[in-house]
Amino acid sequence: MKDKETIRQGLKDNPRLKRWLDYLIMNQRDARPRWYIRLLAPLYQHRGFGSKIYHSVRMDTPPYRDFSLGKQSVIESFCCINNAVGDIVIGDYTRIGIHNTIIGPVTIGSHVNLAQGITVTALNHNFEDTSLRIDEQGISTQPVVIGNDVWIGANAVILPGVTIGNHVVVAAGAVVTKDVPDNTLVGGVPAKLIKQI
C-alpha cells in the first residue's frame, strides 16, 4: 500500500480530485472533519493500550494526517486536537490536561504532564503582504517537539518551531518562543531560563 506522503503528492498533481476529497472529508465552513469521518477516527488512528480520550475532546483529526496516542496516555476534557496541517504524535503515560489546544505538527514524548489551559501550536498565519488580507495569505508550519519527562504549567503557550528537551519544567503562564535545553526550568513572557534542575 502507498504511504500517506505518496498519496499526498499524487493529490497535489490532481487538484480537482484533491478539492473533491477535501469536500467529502472536511466541513468547509467549520474547517473540521465531517461527522461520519469523526465517527471512523478510532479505526484509522493509533490509540495505545489503556489510553483514554474524554468525550468532550474536540478531535479535528482527518485521516490524511497521523494522530497517535501512546499507552496509558490521557487527553482530558475540553481539549482540542487538530492535525489538519501536521501530524500529532503523543507518547506513553502522558497527560494532556483539561482545556489544552494542540495544533500539529507536534510530537510529545512519554511521561509528559501538560497542566490546564495550555496551547501548543505549530501553525502561524502569514501576514507579510500588506496588499492582501491575512486570511488570504495562507498559513505556515514549523514542528514543535516536546521531549520526555516534561511538566508544563497552566496556561503556558508553546509556539511554532520550539523544541523542549527532557526533564524540563515550564512555569505557569510562560510563552515559550525558543528551544529549551534538557534539565531546566523556564518561565515568563517570553520564557527565559529560571534555573538548572
Written as nine digits, the cell of 152 is: 508544563
Q: Sheet containing 150-152: give its strands across.
A: 52-53, 74-75, 95-96, 113-114, 150-152, 168-170, 184-187, 192-196
Contact between 21 and ligand COA by CB under 6 A: the answer reads no
> Which of 70, 147, 160, 187 forms a contact with ligand COA (CB under 6 A)?
187
Interface with ligand COA in residues 102-131 (CB under 6 A): 115
Catalytic annotation, pick one of 46, 55, 99, 125 = 125
Q: Is 98 in the site for ligand COA (CB under 6 A)?
A: no
Among the listed residues 89, 96, 64, the one whose alpha carbon sits nearest the alpha carbon of residue 145: 89
Rounded to the nearest whole angstrom, what is the least distance from the CB of residue 61 to ligand COA in the complex?
A: 25
User: Residues of 71-84 as b/e, b for ≥16 C-beta within 10 angstroms?
Assistant: ebbbbbebbbbbbb
- Residue 9 phi/psi, 5° resolution? -65, -40
Least distance from C-beta 187 to ligand COA, angstroms?
A: 4
Q: Cβ of residue 67: shortest distance to ligand COA, in angstroms?
A: 24
From 141, 171, 177, 184, residue interacting with ligand COA (rule: CB under 6 A) = 171
Instruction: Confirm if 91 and 69 have CB atoms less than 8 A apart.
Output: no
- The nearest distance, CB 138 to ligand COA, in angstroms, is 34
Question: Which residues ranging from 146 to 165 are in contact with ligand COA (CB under 6 A)?
Answer: 153-154
Q: Is-catalytic flag, 125? A: yes
Candidates 173, 175, 177, 182: give the one binding ligand COA (CB under 6 A). Answer: 173
**Considering Cα of 64, then 55, then 124, then 109, what sign does the dihedral take?**
negative
How many residues in the shown chain lie near ligand COA by CB under 6 A?
11
Q: What is the spatial distance between Cα 154 and Cα 139, in angstroms, rounded to a whole number?
A: 27
The set of catalytic residues is 125
Binding site for ligand COA (CB under 6 A): 115, 153-154, 169, 171-173, 185, 187-188, 194
